Structure 1
Amino acid sequence: MRDWRGRLLALLMTTGLGGTALAATPEMKACRIDGIPNELQCGSLQRPLDPARPDGVKVDIHYLVVPALARNKLPDAVLMLAGGPGQSAINVASRVLPRLSRLNNRRDLVFIDQRGTGQSAPLDCPDDSKLPIGEQLEPAAQMRRIDACRAALEKLPYGDLRFFTTTIAMQDMDAVREALGVPQWNLIGGSYGTRAALEYLRQFPTRVRRTVIDGVAPPDMILPASFSTDTQAALDKLIEANAKTHPTLRADWQALLASLPRQVTVAQPLTGAAEHFTVDRGLLLRAVRPPLYQPALAAALPAALHAAATEGRFEGLFGLTTAFGSGKGMKLAMGMHFSVMCAEDAPRIAQATDAPGADFRTLDAEMYSRVCRNWPRGEVPADFYKIPPAPGPVLVMSGGADPATPPRHGERVAKALAAGHAERVQHIVVPESGHGVMGVGCVRDIVFRFIDAKTDAQALPQDAACATRIPRPVAFQPVQEGAAK
């Protein structure tokens, strides 16, 4: 182990970051990130808040480079585009790095905090994870916190919230590429990062070598409306998949909805304090959605819903909701989130053609409409909502049990990207996976082979049989009191 570390240190000292392009960037400096043992390189690039006023207010765009380990590294770095919108790419680097470790042998990995996130002109709202559960999820209380946050953000030096759109942010990403001397990126985007990747492709098609989009959120999907349709489909699929082990699950769910509103007592998952609050329909629906993103958490939903419906015990349900958002890097910069959504999605809610889910109805459309009435709205070019044919190979990936970006979105995007060049695009569906499939089983190896292929003809198609056979996690069965030990 000591010899390996010595060779790595010698490599970094000898080659800078594996080449002259990165070494020529004066802003780069040695840095360390929690969860990554190696010394890395960090930098920042000053950009105008308003692209039309280059001499006006500036924002610093921060980035992290994980240097390639090999001396003879390849020039096409990998850029990871984070989700949300509102996720910090640098904060999730330690979680993503194991999935990209093979690519890192010969390619630099780059993580850029998109403007409004992480260290790049952050638009953070106060953390509400330790607030009482009822206050966290109660709509009126949420709106009061959002309004207060917006007012505070607008007082920042960079507080003109109109200039945090995806279009402007991708111009920042290309400026970083140029500063680093990278001739072409290999883009990897997850969730909202897929929208960012598609917009980068639209604006800078010659600057992209290969593209991976995982959990596709197209620019024209109108998220507040599609949320209802897609979450309903994921919940129905969960109920159907557990029909044998939990035959009363659908009846339990309907009975639970019919029993609302009701007073409950629950221990706050993070503090343990007993809390008394009212569960209404909206609060229940908001609590059910997060576990559906991850099949491992969704496996415990049947037992949690049964306990709530038949025994009035809600600890399991709210514990699952809290568990989803507790991982490193999961917190979103909500000011950036609403700046994007209020510019790109909310103005088009009335044009949505998705049929609302039977249970979720217009819950999200109403929430975003309320927030965006007072949120400053950035300008979005008409071409933003168009998806031109792909300039190079694109690997599209979807989880069949995804409650936010299921395969129907990936299929439509794949068809648009492949227009006239079907050989450039492949859509891989992992039927029993949730939101984001790149970390599931063999998928990381598929991504490596796709990007590492020497020619476009070798990049696609990829054999994905290993991924399509991954089963849904077995439903959790609570240990019964008095059961044999």
Structure 2
Amino acid sequence: MLDRVLALADAGDAPVTAYRDASTGEVHEERLSRGHVAAVVRMYAYSPMTAALLPLTLAEAAAGRPEPLLAQARMLVSSLDQQIHHGMQLSVMCTEDADEMQAREEDADTVLGNELISMSLAQCAVWPRGERPADFREPLRGDLPVLVLSGELDPVTPPRYGDEIVAHLPRGRHLVLPGQGHTTIGIGCMPKLTARFIDTLDAAELDATCLEGLRAMPPFSGFYGWEP
């Protein structure tokens, strides 16, 4: 289904489609492009709540009805402009990672391809940067109380990253929230556990059994959710 949508977008002859802006109600007209598909698939994968919309959205686009996908792409771009401070992002990324980023042949056929890497390298070529310390890649060590949180389905910072962090922290603990994505601190009983940790600075004593009932959100079967 995703391949079908990408093929339609890459063909370059998709019809101009009118769709309604989900935020303003205005009607816009655009052609479906790979950029629309990549933006929605990439950003919606961060959270189970938005990932649940992907199968239906892609199925509609594959059937020649790209209006939901186009509307969601516009909503994403509009909201990200207000949420991400791109200058700060570049200052961090260009200092810490730019010299190790490279386009890879094996990524060329992925949904996003190498476009993000190429664009980031071009920006970092002219953006001011700091100096990365020689030991920057060394793991954090010490007798610090640390609570590390991960979502089981996080596509950006998967749970194995958390395992690597607490391996060097004797007072550290890693909680993996079942079926969850990139941001976990506000999910289920996690706010209470976080507050408890701040009060006690003892990650080991936290009773995290309340997290065991968490589940990923099932995919929408219709525009009103889980229709019969």
Indicate the TM-score class for this superposition, using the shorter chain for normalisation.
0.7 to 0.9
Could you tell me how far apart the structure 2 residues matched to 1:280 and 1:323 are?
15
Asked if residue 430 in structure 1 is aligned to residue 177 in structure 2, the reply is: yes
Superposed displacement of residue 438, structure 1: 0.8
Quote the residue 2:145 is aligned against: 393
Instruction: Give per-residue Cα distances to partners, 1:57-83, cap 9 Å, x unaligned.
Output: xxxxxxxxxxxxxxxxxxxxxxxxxxx
Matched, 1:412 2:175: no
| Cα displacement (A) at 1:363 | 3.0
Q: Which runs of structure 1 show a deviation greater than 6 angstroms over 4 or more consecutive aligned residues?
A: none
Q: TM-score, normalised by structure 1?
A: 0.41
CA deviation after TM superposition for structure 1 residue 308, in Å: 0.8
Alignment-derived partner of residue 257 in structure 1: 6
1:20-68 deviation line (CA, Å, top 9, x unaligned): xxxxxxxxxxxxxxxxxxxxxxxxxxxxxxxxxxxxxxxxxxxxxxxxx
Asked if 2 retains the 8 angstrom alpha-carbon contact of 1:294 and 1:433, the reply is yes
Q: In structure 1, list runs of 5 or more residues that go unmatched.
A: 1-251
Structure 1 CA distance, aligned partners of 2:196 and 2:189? 11
AA matched with 2:209: A
Q: Tell me the residue number matched to 2:189.
A: 442
Q: Which has a greater percent of strand?
A: 1
Offset, 1:273: 3.1
Report the Cα distance in structure 1 between the residues aligned to 2:98 and 2:110, rounded to whole angstroms: 21
In structure 2, C-alpha distance between the alignment counterparts of 1:425 and 1:404, rounded to whole Å: 21
* Cα deviation, residue 294, structure 1: 2.2
Instruction: Say if 2:150 and 2:184, in contact at 8 Å, map to a contact too.
Output: yes
Counterparts of 1:325 and 1:443 in 2: how far apart (Å)?
Answer: 30
Name the SS for the 1:381 alignment partner.
Answer: coil
1:472 is matched with which residue: 213, 216, 220? 216
**Structure 2: which 5+ residue stretches go unaligned?**
none
The structural deviation recorded for 1:280 is 2.8
Equivalent residues, number:
220
Alpha-carbon distance in structure 2 between the residues aligned to 1:463 and 1:363: 44
Task: After TM superposition, give the deviation of residue 471 of structure 1 in Å.
Answer: 1.0
Query: How much has 1:338 moved relative to structure 2?
Result: 1.1
Letter paired with 2:208 = A
| Offset at residue 324 of structure 1 (A) | 8.7
Residue 348 of structure 1 pairs with residue 97 of structure 2: no
Q: Say whether residues 1:305 and 2:49 are aligned partners.
A: no
Residue 406 of structure 1: how far off its partner (Å): 1.8
What's the secondary structure of 1:395's corresponding residue? strand
Q: Deviations over 1:236-272 (max 9, x none)?
A: xxxxxxxxxxxxxxxx111111222334423333333
Aligned to 1:370: 122
Q: Report the CA distance between 1:411 and its aligned residue.
A: 1.8
Query: Structure 1 stretch 444-453 or stretch 276-285: which is displaced more?
Result: 276-285
Q: Output the amino acid matched with 1:284.
A: V
Counterpart-to-counterpart distance in 1, 2:129 and 2:137: 16
Provide the alpha-carbon RMSD of the alignment: 3.0
- Secondary structure of 2:28's partner? strand
1:263/1:311 CA distance change after superposition, 3 Å: closer
Whether 1:402 aligns to 2:146 is: no
Q: Counterpart of 1:106?
A: none
The correspondence of residues 104-253 of structure 1 with structure 2, limited to 5 A, is 252-253=1-2
Asked if the contact 2:152–2:180 (Cα under 8 Å) also holds between the matched residues in 1, the reply is yes
Q: State the identity as a percent.
A: 33
Amino acid at match of 1:474: P
**Aligned-pair distance for 1:314?**
2.9
Superposed CA deviations along residues 331-352 of structure 1, whole A, max 9, x for unmatched, are 22211111111111212214x9
How far apart, in 2, do the equivalents of 1:301 and 1:479 lie? Answer: 11
Q: Which residue matches 1:296?
A: 49
